[in-house]
Amino acid sequence: MQGAVGKLGYGTLAAGVALLASMLTDAATANIFGDDDRRDIVAADDLSGVGTIVCEGTTRRPTASLVALPAIAPSPYYDVIATVAHAFVGSNGQLLQRCAFWPQADPALAAEIVFLETGTLSPYGNWHNDWAVAVLDRRLPETYSRLIPRVLDEAGAQKMRNGRARFLLAGHNGERGPLQVSENCGPVPKLGSHLNRFDPRVFNHDCDMMPGWSGGPLILRDGGASYLVAVNSTEVNAITHIAGRPYNGRMNPNTAVRLDGRFLATVENLLRAGAPGTVKCLVASADETPALPC
């Protein structure tokens, strides 16, 4: 990943990263509801397109996933991944450089990230825009799974969860493997005690996770297909949640940024056109402003 963006929002972004780090002090257990149902991903899960973001200058390994749309013919030259914006921010608040995507967390399969567009440069206070879409420098094998983006609102998610469809969350445990999945979970209704109760742009969910699961896909399995409906973003349970207790409405659930609006439009545009121009560079959006030029 080459190039750079302006410093717009870096001060507040650094504060946001610091706050997030302070909230993750009990990394192994801070996000576990009831029995910990996380398990290692196996071939039968059909999640070979889930992997990790690896950047120079940090040991963090956030999660990302390959995406595709059946209506858009795949390019033989590149792939597209979805994750979170704060995956590309270092502890000093500066944008990380030279990043790659490791499918299945395997460095032998690495593909360089050559173009990036994000929903915000300052996730602190803007968690609902904490999404990122990146273009890879090559097309990965067609045998790798690719999630289908799908717009799903909170009411629709509850209807799905109450029916035959099921949700799951995939992620990576901190700085170590393996990739895992949390099942028997999904979006939960927002209540008056929740910090984001008036914000429809994010799902609250009760999937088990820990640091490293940021950017992990919240997946809907329905009708034999796997859909990306959100990317895992933050946890605030260290404030109100005691690890191992069953989920209840007094707890602040984990949150995931819903795939809709500009997030969905960016996925569709990059799947159609790839990185703009022939120069490999980094482009990031600053909140609601257009993407910065190369």
What confidence tens digit (pLDDT) does each residue in 89-116 have?
877 777 888 999 999 999 999 999 999 9
Q: Which CATH superfamily is domain 148-258 in?
A: Trypsin-like serine proteases (2.40.10.10)
pLDDT tens digits, residue range 227-285? 999 999 875 544 444 555 555 555 556 889 999 999 999 999 999 988 875 434 444 44
Res. 290: pLDDT tops 90: no
- Residue 134, CB half-sphere, CA atoms under 13 Å: how many? 33
Distance CA 174, CA 236 (A): 17
Q: Where do the structural domains in the chain lie, given as residue ranges?
A: 10-26+48-147+262-273, 148-258
- For the question of whether the overall pTM of this predicted structure is more than 0.85, the answer is no
Identical fold at 10-26+48-147+262-273 and 148-258?
yes
Q: Which CATH number fits domain 10-26+48-147+262-273: 3.30.2320.30, 3.20.20.80, 3.10.20.30, 2.40.10.10?
A: 2.40.10.10
Res. 13: pLDDT tops 60: no
Res. 175: pLDDT tops 70: no
- Of 44-48, 95-99, 289-293, the poorest mean pLDDT is in 289-293
Res. 140: pLDDT tops 70: yes
The pLDDT of residue 41: 94
- 210 exposed, middle or buried (CB, 10 Å; 0-12, 13-18, 19+)? buried
What is the band of 148 on the pLDDT scale with cuts at 50, 70, 90?
Answer: very high
Exposed e or buried b per residue across 135-159, where buried means at least 16 C-beta atoms within 10 angstroms of its C-beta: bbbeebeeebebbbbbebebeebee
Work out the percent of the chain whose per-residue pLDDT is above 70: 72
The pLDDT of residue 235: 59
Of 32, 65, 18, 30, the C-alpha closest to 46 is 65
Distance CA 149, CA 70 (A): 10
The pLDDT of residue 92: 76
